[in-house]
Amino acid sequence: MNEEQRNELSQIREKSSDEGNLERIKQKTSEDFMQYFQTTYQPPNMRDAQRRKKKDTEVHYDFSIPEDMNLAGQGKKYMIRTYGCQMNEHDTEVMAGIFEEMGYESTSNQKEADVILLNTCAIRENAENKVFGEIGHLKSLKVENPNLILGICGCMSQEESVVNRILKKHPFIDLIFGTHNIHRLPQLMKEAMFGKEMVVDVWSKEGDIIENLPRARKGNIKAWVNIMYGCDKFCTYCIVPYTRGKERSRMPQDIIQEVRHLAAQGYKEVTLLGQNVNSYGKDLNIGYGLGDLMDELRSIDIPRVRFTTSHPRDFDDRLVEVLAKGGNMLDHIHLPVQSGNTDVLKIMGRKYSREEYLDLVRKIRLAMPGATLTTDIIVGFPNETEEQFQDTLSLVEEVGFEAAYTFIYSPRDNTPAAKMKDNVSMEEKKDRLHRLNKLVNQQSADAMSKYEGEVVDVLVQGESKNNPDVLAGYTKRNKLVNFRAPDAVIGKIVPVRITKAKTWSLDGELVEEKVEVK
C-alpha cells in the first residue's frame, strides 16, 4: 500500500467513524490492509516458535507509564473481558493495574466504557468462536461511539490466522496486541487514541520477564503469582507454546518478595502460576526447583499456597517431600493426565507412559495419603480407538480422580496433531466425553459423600455465586462448601460441619463455638 492509499484509508476510517458507517471500511479496505500487512508486518510464526533458541531471558525492572500517558485515563473507564485460564485472568489484573495507573476507572457496563479489551484464549476452537461472536457484538458499540477503543489481546492475538482474520473482517478493531506486549499498553493506547489505523503489536518472540508491573487484583483474599511464563513441552495438540513463548522462570527472590508482600496485605491464599510449574527453575541453571521454592514459601505466614498446572513428567521427589510436610502446602494436586493409554500419550508428546503416571500417583499417595487428585483429559484425539479410550476410563478409576476438566480434542492451526488424519467421528467423540463425564461425576459424588458429618476448615471467599444468602469457600482439598454465616467471616478460615454432600459441592453449617480466626 503506498502513501496515497494509506491516506485514503485513513480518510475512509475517519469519515466512516464520523458517519457511524463502519460497513464501508470493511468493504473498501480489507484488501488494502491485507496487502499492507503482508509486506510490512510480520505476524507470529509457528515455525520460528518451534526453532526457539535457549538464549538468556531478559528481566526488566524498569516499567513506568510514559509521562504523556500518566493522566490519559482521567474521567475515562475501561473494561476487560477475560477468556481462558488463570494466566489470562492474572494478565487482566496486570492490564487493569496499568489502566488504573493511567487514571482510568473500571466499569462492568460496556455502554459507559471508553476502552474495551478482550483478553482472549486460543486453546480450543469454541474458545475462539466465543471471542469472534463477541467481536461481532462490539461493532454496534463502536458505531454508536466512534471514540471507543476496541482491543484484542491474549493468546488469540499470537495466532497469525486470527490477526489476519481481524484485519480482513473486523477493521473497526483499533488495537491488537499479544501476550508479550502487555507492558506496552500505555504506548499502544496512545497510538490507538491518536492514530487513524489499526494498531497491531504482536511479537513472535520467546519472551522476556517484566518485573515491576502494577496489578489491580480481584479481591483481597486469594491472589495469583506468576512463577514462570511460557511452555517448552510442545504437546502435539497444544497451541500454548506458540502463544506464550518459551519457558522462563522468575527469580526466586522476586517471587518470595511478592508472596511476602501479599501475606503482609492480609491475603490468605496464593496460587503460583505457570503452564508447567514443575519445570520451574530449569532455565535459571542455579539448581533450584519448584520443591525448593515451595519449601521457602512454607515459612511465610500465609495460610494457603497452591500451584497450577503440574506436568507429570517433571514432578520430582523433592516436591513430593516438601508437599508432604503440610503446613500451608495444600492437600490437592491437579495433575493433568490427558489420556490413560501409553500409545496415545506418546503421539500427544506427553513424554510419560500410563505406568509412569501411575507410579507418580503412588508416590504422592504414599507421602500424602489424604490428598485430592484432579486432572485434565482429552477424548477423541486423532484415531483414538475405543480400547484406548477404555484405558482412560480405567485410569480415572484406578487413580480415583475427584474431579476432571474433560475436553473433546480440538485441532489447532499449525500444531502437529492438526495435520493428522482422524477417523473418529464427532458423534463418537461426544459419546466418549459423555461416558467419561458420567464416571468422573460419580467419583466426585462418592468423594463428597465421605465428608458428611465431618468438620472442615473453609477459607470463606464471599457470597455463593448461585445464592447471595449463602457464603461459599474452599477446603484445603479444594472442595466447595456453601453455608450460612454472618458476612464477618468472609476472608477468614472457619470450621464448618458438613450436613449434605452434592456432586460438586458440600452444604454445611458454621461450627460457631469454635470460630477460630486464622
Determine if 238 is a binding residue for ligand SF4 (CB under 6 A).
yes
378 binds, among ligand SF4, ligand SAH, ligand F3S, none (CB under 5 to 8 A by kind): ligand SAH
Determine if 153 is a binding residue for ligand SF4 (CB under 6 A).
no
Determine if 49 is a binding residue for ligand F3S (CB under 6 A).
no
Determine if 234 is a binding residue for ligand SF4 (CB under 6 A).
yes
Determine if 124 is a binding residue for ligand SAH (CB under 6 A).
yes
Q: Are 214 and 100 in contact (CB under 8 A)?
A: yes
- For ligand SAH (CB under 6 A), the number of binding residues is 17
Sole residue written with cell 511476602: 260
Closer of 237 and 474 to ligand SF4 (Cβ): 237
Q: Are 66 and 186 in contact (CB under 8 A)?
A: yes
Q: How far apart are CA 161 and CA 165, in angstroms?
A: 6
Residues 102-161, interacting with ligand F3S (CB under 6 A): 121-123, 154-155
Q: Which of 28, 21, 23 is nearest to 1 (CA)?
A: 28
What mask, x for binding ligand F3S by CB under 6 A, covers residues 151 to 170? ---xx---------------
Q: Which of 430, 437, 485 is nearest to 460 (CA)?
A: 485
Determine if 244 is a binding residue for ligand F3S (CB under 6 A).
yes
Q: Are 316 and 276 in contact (CB under 8 A)?
A: no
What mask, x for binding ligand SF4 by CB under 6 A, covers residues 291 to 320? --------------------x---------
HSE on the CB side for 408, CA within 13 Å?
15
SS3 content of the chain, % helix, strand, coil (to 5): 45, 20, 40
Q: How far apart are CA 123 and CA 435, in angstroms?
A: 23
Give the max Cα distance, the chain. 79
Backbone angles phi, psi at 121, to 5 degrees: -125, 140
Residues 322-351, interacting with ligand SAH (CB under 6 A): 336, 338
Backbone angles phi, psi at 279, to 5 degrees: -90, 0
Is 155 annotated as ligand-binding?
yes
CA 199 to chain centre: 24
- Of 276, 328, 392, 475, which lies in the binding site for ligand SAH, with binding defined by CB under 6 A? 276
Peptide bond into 309 cis (omega under 30): yes
Determine if 493 is a binding residue for ligand SF4 (CB under 6 A).
no
Sole residue written with cell 502494577: 214
Provide the minimum distance between the beta carbon of 15 and ligand SAH in the complex, in angstroms, as a whole number.
42
Provide the minimum distance between the beta carbon of 288 and ligand SAH in the complex, in angstroms, as a whole number.
21
Is 85 annotated as ligand-binding?
yes
Is 153 annotated as ligand-binding?
no
Determine if 229 is a binding residue for ligand SAH (CB under 6 A).
no
What mask, x for binding ligand SF4 by CB under 6 A, covers residues 247 to 286? ----------------------------xx----------
Is 238 annotated as ligand-binding?
yes
41 binds, among ligand F3S, ligand SF4, ligand SAH, none (CB under 5 to 8 A by kind): none
Amino acid at 110: Q
Of 98-106, 124-132, 226-234, 409-417, the segment contacting ligand SF4 by CB under 6 A is: 226-234
Closer of 345 and 506 to ligand SF4 (Cβ): 345
Determine if 379 is a binding residue for ligand F3S (CB under 6 A).
no
Secondary structure (DSSP) of 277-334: GGGTTGGGTSS--HHHHHHHHHTSS-SEEEEE---GGG--HHHHHHHTT-TTB-SEEE
Q: Are 100 and 63 in contact (CB under 8 A)?
A: no
Per the annotation, binding residues for [4Fe-4S] cluster are 85, 121, 155, 231, 235, 238
Per the annotation, binding residues are 85, 121, 155, 231, 235, 238
Note the residues at the interface with ligand SF4 (CB under 6 A). Answer: 231, 233-235, 238, 240-241, 275-276, 311
Note the residues at the interface with ligand SAH (CB under 6 A). Answer: 123-124, 237-238, 240, 275-276, 309, 311, 336, 338, 376, 378, 407, 409-410, 412
